[in-house]
Chains A and B, each alone.
Chain A
């Protein structure tokens, strides 16, 4: 034990000596210095803001990539995992090809492929320097591709949007009420409940009526480029770097999640499925009410691991120039900020990410696991 302490002290002493020798500061004061560079992903970011603000922006970008990646990967993984067990030979084989293909290719290669071969050059839809696709018979674009940025239409608030959302919330409450009413009626009289249809229908009707009555609180905002063509002034803009990062990571992780889903479904005893069949449940009902709830329990812990991996892998966005926290830290180190402290902050950020995710999902895990007596 003493030896370990001594070794640690020796290493730390060497580090401090070397830092002093090369005149690199050994404290964390650099965090309050101005950042000194703009972030293409976030136009609002002022280069004069301190470095700790830059780290926060990086965390936000990492979070955005991770969140969308996790959602996409879960959906695709679930679908492909179920498809691998399909009784249709073609579906099962295609799912297998997807899984084996993405699982055994380095994610970095996939990210670079999306960035350079899909969104820039290459045989797939060739995106030239700039491309505006106009709606037929109007001046508005529905798709804007400028160098590394992609714009799609979005909604912009025009009038009374607060009131509109208030009414929608009322609609949600009413829909929940209808849901409960239909469920109770179903239990009491046994007639089909159709509660999804009823509540969703009510919600849509309320929203539509509110929208028309308020004279259109939202309007389309068509994407358009600014004077110098470098940024979008309207619509919803995202970057090719972000898209390639999230898509590639989502597909890579989906291939892993699909295997988890498949293994979990296979782990549900066959008798469950047969019993559900004997009760004349449809294949969908069988999956929805019998197999998936049981399989989910088995699937949660390995899926947590996959989510953690995905969040850590968002650091690969550095390669395609996505402004995640790793990339920003690296640029900041390039601007002569001390490397050891910067990397320490970076590792701290990822450790917090890992801790928070595993904490949240472990709580969730506890709720879905069987309550054993």
Chain B
């Protein structure tokens, strides 16, 4: 009866398992709430406290809370000073992203369905109900946002975007094997096109486009037979040429668009976190591999970078970026404030990613490397074909965890006066009608926006961890 250690969050009944008979409410309460004297006292005391807290909280949420500052400034909180006449860019981007995510999701479902069919295992599609149960904080956040706007246009927008995503998923699932491969590519194009529409010529799509073209050239030239000695050089020239063409074409075009310097609000939080983790990945990979290098100089450099960055708070680095990062460059401060902040966050995340990747590298058995060397693979090939694929698979949940941390840390941008959501919340209380109105309410709103996303991501990453079987060797 009193054994400590039943896991409280074990699902009650699995889908395929035989469900045990459901206990009556009284039996359940006796078992879980009043099973001995201590627990009965605890239950009564905590229950009373909980009732008071719930009543107080509900009164705050629905009766006494002054949500007017949040409601009036909802757009400001979400996208800050983003030019209002360019808002359509965000709308188009969201549609394209939804389509892309829908295609990806459908593709994943379809391929696992096919694998199940090949293995002769029954396959059950994830149901909508499960999706809602797993993603409820996000849906609550959406409902809060839509409920506050009190107009039909955002509702229609969100509903149509979700519908588009679901439709894309259905299409992808229905496609035959060959068509699906093209659709995978379509998902990537949709995502990139979204960024292109949003940032236009002023933005990061240059880099994405170049990377895409470079990857395509590498892929296309893989099977071309030339004189072996010149092949790498020739390919490099081709890649450089293609990238140069892309840049030249870009320089001639003008799509307008809004680069990340003009983004603010919650959008900036998301973009800063996402951009930093993507950009930090190569840095972290390099530092992790460098830490295991045979050359002492490279090893010590990597160790120094990782340990120094991990030993200091992010704020000190942000101050550095804000105050004198530009001084390290020969020109007179060519970088914008947002760029410097993202550069610093990249530097910061790189050190943490290096440690995560190192953990993954250590999890790859030595025999793998030795076997690869035995069949005569060169050191870069051993790394890129044998070690990294296995190492990176093991660290996906940790990567998600790092992204969540970075997302939460993006609030620190407010300290160097970037207008992310916390800073905008502060500025709301500079408006005359909201000087001391709803100070707790705006904070609760901001906290909830972060919580909903971070909580969902962390739960999904735990789920992923279980499915990948990390740590169960």
In the complex, B8 has a CB within 8 A of chain A: yes
Interface string of B410-454 (1 = CB under 8 A from A): 011011000000100000000000001001100110110011001
Chain A contacts for B32, CB-based, 8 A: 87-89
Which of A14, A277, A351 has a CB less than 8 Å from the CB of B329? A14
A93 touching B8 in the complex, CB below 8 Å, given contacts A15-B324, A312-B312? yes
In the complex, A91 has a CB within 8 A of chain B: yes
Check B312–A84 contact: CB distance below 8 A.
no
Please measure, in the bound complex, the distance between the C-alpha atom of A318 and the C-alpha atom of B311, giving whole angstroms: 18
Check A104–B323 contact: CB distance below 8 A.
no
Chain A contacts for B454, CB-based, 8 A: 104-105
Which of A121, A319, A343, A347 has a CB less than 8 Å from the CB of B439? A121
In the complex, A55 has a CB within 8 A of chain B: no
Which of B323, B328, B422 has a CB less than 8 Å from the CB of A333? B323
Please measure, in the bound complex, the distance between the C-alpha atom of A14 and the C-alpha atom of B328, giving whole angstroms: 5
Which of B4, B313, B329 has a CB less than 8 Å from the CB of A315? B313
Check A343–B320 contact: CB distance below 8 A.
yes
Chain B contacts for A346, CB-based, 8 A: 312, 316, 319
Check A273–B5 contact: CB distance below 8 A.
yes
Chain B contacts for A96, CB-based, 8 A: 8-9
Query: Which residue in chain A gives the minimum CB-CB distance to B319?
Result: A343
Check B316–A88 contact: CB distance below 8 A.
no
Q: Which listed segment binds B: A69-77, A108-116, A214-222? A: A108-116
A104 touching B404 in the complex, CB below 8 Å, given contacts A1-B297, A123-B65? yes
Query: Which residue in chain A gives the minimum CB-CB distance to B8?
Result: A92
Which of A266, A277, A343 has the most CB atoms of chain B within a 10 A radius of its CB? A343
Check B8–A104 contact: CB distance below 8 A.
no
Check B8–A339 contact: CB distance below 8 A.
no
Check B4–A287 contact: CB distance below 8 A.
yes
Check A351–B308 contact: CB distance below 8 A.
yes
Chain B contacts for A351, CB-based, 8 A: 308, 311-312
Check B450–A270 contact: CB distance below 8 A.
no
Chain A contacts for B311, CB-based, 8 A: 347, 350-351, 354-355
Which of B2, B33, B46, B450 has a CB less than 8 Å from the CB of A106? B450
Check A113–B440 contact: CB distance below 8 A.
yes
CB distance from A306 to the nearest CB of B (A): 13
Check A103–B320 contact: CB distance below 8 A.
no
Chain B contacts for A354, CB-based, 8 A: 310-312
Check A312–B422 contact: CB distance below 8 A.
no
In the complex, B261 has a CB within 8 A of chain A: no
Q: Name B1-25 residues within 8 Å CB distance of A.
A: 1-9
In the complex, A85 has a CB within 8 A of chain B: yes
Check B408–A107 contact: CB distance below 8 A.
yes
In the complex, B184 has a CB within 8 A of chain A: no
Which of A85, A110, A116, A121 has a CB less than 8 Å from the CB of B8? A85
Please measure, in the bound complex, the distance between the C-alpha atom of A346 and the C-alpha atom of B319, giving whole angstroms: 11
Q: Which listed segment binds A: B35-43, B207-215, B358-366? A: B35-43
Chain B contacts for A60, CB-based, 8 A: none
In the complex, A359 has a CB within 8 A of chain B: no
Query: Which residue in chain B gives the minimum CB-CB distance to A287?
Result: B4
Q: Tell me the interface secondary structure of chain B in the complex.
A: helix
Check A15–B327 contact: CB distance below 8 A.
yes
In the complex, A53 has a CB within 8 A of chain B: no
Please measure, in the bound complex, the distance between the C-alpha atom of A319 and the C-alpha atom of B413, giving whole angstroms: 11
In the complex, A158 has a CB within 8 A of chain B: no
Interface string of B291-325 (1 = CB under 8 A from A): 00001011001000000101111011001100110
Chain B contacts for A121, CB-based, 8 A: 436, 439-440
Query: Which residue in chain A gives the minimum CB-CB distance to B56?
Result: A123
Which of B42, B297, B412, B451 has a CB less than 8 Å from the CB of A101? B451
Chain B contacts for A112, CB-based, 8 A: 422, 443
In the complex, A283 has a CB within 8 A of chain B: yes
In the complex, A117 has a CB within 8 A of chain B: yes
Please measure, in the bound complex, the distance between the C-alpha atom of A116 and the C-alpha atom of B429, giving whole angstroms: 12
CB distance from A7 to the nearest CB of B (A): 10
In the complex, A265 has a CB within 8 A of chain B: yes
Which of B3, B64, B308, B319 has the most CB atoms of chain A within a 10 A radius of its CB? B319
Chain B contacts for A108, CB-based, 8 A: 411-412, 414, 422
A123 touching B2 in the complex, CB below 8 Å, given contacts A88-B33, A103-B458, A106-B450? no
Please measure, in the bound complex, the distance between the C-alpha atom of A4 and the C-alpha atom of B33, giving whole angstroms: 64
In the complex, B330 has a CB within 8 A of chain A: yes
In the complex, A330 has a CB within 8 A of chain B: yes
In the complex, A313 has a CB within 8 A of chain B: yes
Check B312–A109 contact: CB distance below 8 A.
no
Check A315–B455 contact: CB distance below 8 A.
no
Check A88–B39 contact: CB distance below 8 A.
yes
Which of A90, A94, A105 has a CB less than 8 Å from the CB of B450? A105
In the complex, A146 has a CB within 8 A of chain B: no
Chain B contacts for A88, CB-based, 8 A: 32-33, 35, 39, 42-43
In the complex, B282 has a CB within 8 A of chain A: no
In the complex, B123 has a CB within 8 A of chain A: no
In the complex, A369 has a CB within 8 A of chain B: no
Interface string of B244-260 (1 = CB under 8 A from A): 00000000000000000
Check B328–A347 contact: CB distance below 8 A.
no
Chain A contacts for B334, CB-based, 8 A: none
In the complex, A170 has a CB within 8 A of chain B: no
Which of B35, B46, B316, B412 has the most CB atoms of chain A within a 10 A radius of its CB? B316
Please measure, in the bound complex, the distance between the C-alpha atom of A287 and the C-alpha atom of B439, giving whole angstroms: 43
Check B6–A87 contact: CB distance below 8 A.
yes
Which of A1, A11, A88, A107 has the most CB atoms of chain B within a 10 A radius of its CB? A88
Chain B contacts for A14, CB-based, 8 A: 327-330
Interface string of A94-137 (1 = CB under 8 A from B): 10100011011111111011001100111110000000000000
In the complex, A32 has a CB within 8 A of chain B: no
Check A122–B439 contact: CB distance below 8 A.
yes
Query: Which residue in chain B gives the minimum CB-CB distance to A5?
Result: B297
Contacts A106-B422, A123-B60, A340-B324 known; list 18 others, CB within 8 Å: A11-B328, A15-B324, A18-B326, A87-B4, A90-B43, A94-B50, A96-B8, A107-B408, A109-B443, A122-B439, A265-B5, A274-B3, A318-B415, A326-B313, A340-B320, A343-B320, A347-B311, A354-B312
Ranked nearest first, the 5 interchain pairs of A and B with the lowest CB-CB distance are: A117-B440, A122-B440, A89-B32, A104-B454, A92-B8
5 intermolecular pairs with C-beta atoms under 8 Å apart: A113-B440, A116-B443, A121-B436, A340-B324, A347-B311
